[in-house]
Amino acid sequence: MAVNPTQTRVRKAAIRLFAKKGFHGVGIRELAQAAKVSPASLYHYIGSKEELLADIMWESLERLLSAAMLATTDVADPQEKLGRLVTLHVIAHAVQAKETAVVDNELRSLAPKLRRRVIDKRDTYEQLWAETIEQGAEAGVFRQDHDGLARKALLEMCSGVARWYSPKGEVKLDALASQFTDIALRSLGTSDAPPQPDLDRCRTIVKYTWGTHV
Partner DNA sequence: CCTAGCCGACCGATCGTTCGATCGTCTAGG
Partner DNA sequence: CCTAGACGATCGAACGATCGGTCGGCTAGG
Name the residues that contact a second copy, by CB under 8 A. Answer: 20-25, 105, 108-109, 146-147, 149-150, 152-157, 159-161, 163-164, 169-171, 175-176, 179-180, 182-183, 186-187, 191-192
Residue 198 CA to residue 211 CA, distance in Å, equals 19
User: Reduced to 3 DSSP states, what percent helix, strand and coil does the chain have, rounded to the nearest 5?
Assistant: 75, 0, 25
Are the C-beta atoms of 182 and 192 separated by less than 8 Å?
no
Q: From 186, 168, 183, 207, select the one nearest 88 (Cα to Cα).
A: 207
Binding range to DNA, per CB under 7 A, among 25-33, 86-94, 103-111, 155-163: 25-33
What number of chain residues touch DNA (CB under 7 A)?
20
Asked if 206 interacts with DNA (CB under 7 A), we say no
Tell me how far CA of residue 117 lies from CA of 63, 127, 185, in angstroms.
15, 15, 31
**45-64 footprint of DNA as x/- string (CB under 7 A):** x--xxx--------------
Asked if 41 interacts with DNA (CB under 7 A), we say yes
For a second copy, the closer of residues 45 and 85 by Cβ is 85
Q: How far is the CB of 49 from DNA (least distance, A)?
A: 3
Q: Determine the Cα angle at 63 with ends 83 and 196, to 5°.
A: 10
Binding site for DNA (CB under 7 A): 4, 6, 24, 26-30, 37-45, 48-50
